[in-house]
Amino acid sequence: MEEFTRMNRLSYITLLLAGILLACLSGCSERDTVVSVEPDDPEMNAAIAKARETLPQFWETFEKREHGESDFSLKVRITDKRGTEHFWAIDIERRDGKIMGTINNDPDTVRSVKLGDRIEIPEADISDWLYMRDGKMVGNYTLKPLFKGMPAAEVERYKTIMADP
């Protein structure tokens, strides 16, 4: 987790809002919402720590898919000379010790990736995960710290589609 807070002491950008992610799982054309979060934000760092702590549960579900789980996504930290940004990656593959995914957000800060790029994802750079089960979103721990800046109706809408692992 220290790695997430030390990264150039710059704000990391969280590309989030589950509504956009869910709409984009089958292709995205609208502009992503970018939310800046300071690297020392305690709620966000706790959410990232929880996501990383529960990553083995994600992988177990990913491998078994016993209950109709689908739309597996990983949030990955990407850093280049312009800064650090977190992207959702879809079409996840895990084989031969490598994790691959497709960038599912337009960049706001970094220029080393773009929407649709297929990338290798170092496990150390995973900051969150999610999948769908029975129409509910499981995971996406980094969404909750953003609730404090959202309209109440939007927060309630997200809460209705969130489920525990």
Number of domains in the chain: 1
Phi, psi of 63 (to 5 degrees): -70, -40
Output the pLDDT for position 37: 75
Q: Mind giving me the DSSP string for 126-146?
A: EEEEEEEETTEEEE-GGGGGG
With contact defined as beta carbons under 8 Å apart, do 7 and 77 qualify?
Answer: yes
pLDDT in tens, the chain (165 residues): 444 433 332 233 333 333 334 433 434 334 456 667 777 789 999 999 999 999 999 999 999 998 889 999 999 999 999 999 999 999 999 999 999 999 999 999 999 999 999 999 999 999 999 999 999 999 999 999 999 889 999 999 999 999 987
Output the pLDDT for position 33: 61
- The residue with tokens 């078994």 is 64
Q: Which domain holds residue 26?
A: 2-163
Closest alpha carbon to 52 in 145, 164, 142 = 142
Closest alpha carbon to 164 in 128, 145, 140 = 140
Output the pLDDT for position 39: 73
